[in-house]
Structure 1
Amino acid sequence: MLRIPSLLFLVLLCSLALAQEAPQVTFAKLHEPGAPGLSEMKEAFTKNNPGYDLSYLKATREVPGKEMTRVLFIQQGGGTAQITDPQGASKSSKVAVGDIVLLDAGETMEADSLLGLLVFTVPEKHSDAIPSFVRPDWDPNITDSPGGCATETNAYRRILLTWHQDVGNYLYHSINAHRVRIMDSFSHYHPKEQGFDEFYLVQMVLPGAKLFTSEKVEQLAMPEAVTKQQLEGLIQEHSLEVGDLIYLPRGVMHRGFGGVLAQVITVPGFIPGSQYGVDHFLRQINENLGLKGGEALPFNRQASAFQVIL
């Protein structure tokens, strides 16, 4: 964690406030018939990220070839999958929830059992150094790396696709992903400039697991001006369940809490230095207004001593 000067942080927030309309948190229920919310999410995501696309294939054994690169996140099922390229060469692997399959242009995939697949279309081909099957629980190149949303020493945080070689073996700037168990992350957002959009693909939850969000970061950044009348709607609390897909555009504050295992997906990639903490602001609002107990704004105490940037 690094300190960032208050003046610089306020400049960043002013840029955020003057940008286009406020970002919107969007939920999709992939486990429910028709995946409600996904079409609205797709529209917002593709508008913010030209060249990308998003879809969900439920209970499928076949993914036909297309003239584009796709990244498949396995959300349901498991078994053996085979990739075949346009020349007829093939490769296969066991697959399970939490794995990623990368398909080059023209490649098809067939599985021996039904799978649920979250599919991202990306504008750039991945490096040949990345295997077609990325398996965080089986690849010796992918090990636990505490940090970010999971700072405890026994954290499960496995980086599948990374922006920077220092934190992972599989470098890919078009899309990043890390599978992480979140118990109490710090409250943060990713700026519109030099930031990234983020998805939480929920794969396991403990009872009571939740996600805190706020679309009013510029208001949080002026804690001395916040009144008790402005508290309502400042922070939203969302209960989580397996099969939730949450879209967190640049500029939205978020914090996972209570035990959620999620595939955290970022577009374009997880750019270093683009996580700005706001727990110190939340703590200051509570202290300024004398908020205690259930009326206090939730925050991560460890990250509230000073401005955090990662």
Structure 2
Amino acid sequence: MQYLRTPDACFEGLTAYPFKPNYLFVDDFDGGEMRMHYLDEGNKDGEVVLLLHGEPSWSFLYRNMIRSITDKGYRVIVPDLIGFGRSDKPAQRSDYTYQRHLDWLRNILSQLSLENITLVCQDWGGLLGLRLVAEHPDKFARVLAANTMLPTGDHAPGDAFMKWRTFSQEVAEFPVAGIIKGATVTELAPSVLEGYNAPYPSEEHKAGVRQFPLLVPITTDDPQTENNRAAWEVLKRFTKPFITAFSDSDPVTAGGDKIMQKLIPGTQGQSHTTITNGGHFLQEDQPQQLAQVLLQFINDNPISTN
């Protein structure tokens, strides 16, 4: 498989992102390997908090939450999905599939031997993370879902998503930072916009971010429809603590929290919240509010030692 690697120089000067890069290697399904980047911060013996980003962001999205979590003694793992951030980027859009992304991301669990994970998932972080929870429920202790869903194609995705999907395929130059800016409610500094653009020095580096909107199941004949339906059947029996923290200003995922609260038994009795003054990328708009919800959720739901 042909892939591109963003030069390290592209990430120099990101003063708000002072984290040491870590890498593991994943199968490229063509006889070779690719490099996958992740952050590994905090107490290496502490409980694991896994933060999963979506489209078209990268681990930079969580930069303002990490220290609040590690200061409480937790180990924070933040991967960059293949095709995003500091991870390698397959050159052909056909190289990106929902299943491959699951398989690539599963390496974070297996190669790092992660157990008793608290998952925080937003956007595609949920499409992938909730599948991993369903496939490896023994590895996860808690789940916090924010502005995400696990679609099966059985229900129409809504006008906001379809407009985004069309835009993503028709725009001549994929405006990564512009998309983040348009889906937040706060003004983003030029340095922040530069941070979101950093992984993509050319359009050739954007095959993944361009392809991702087409991988969301929106019809029942999608190749992942049956697998996502099967995942829902597991989630409907998932009794471990599960909390929703959706924002108040995201037209794409609005209402998804109520569906999860209705269908997933682990949501019962939890202090579900709406993050105020938050757009789709609520980690950018309200990082400390979301971090505090997470920390209170962990504190309220200690892992049983029995």
TM-score range, shorter chain: under 0.3
Going by fraction, where is strand more abundant, 1 or 2? 1
**Greater gyration radius:** 1
Larger relative helix fraction: 2
State the TM-score, normalized to the length of structure 1.
Answer: 0.26
- Give the TM-score, by structure 2 length: 0.26
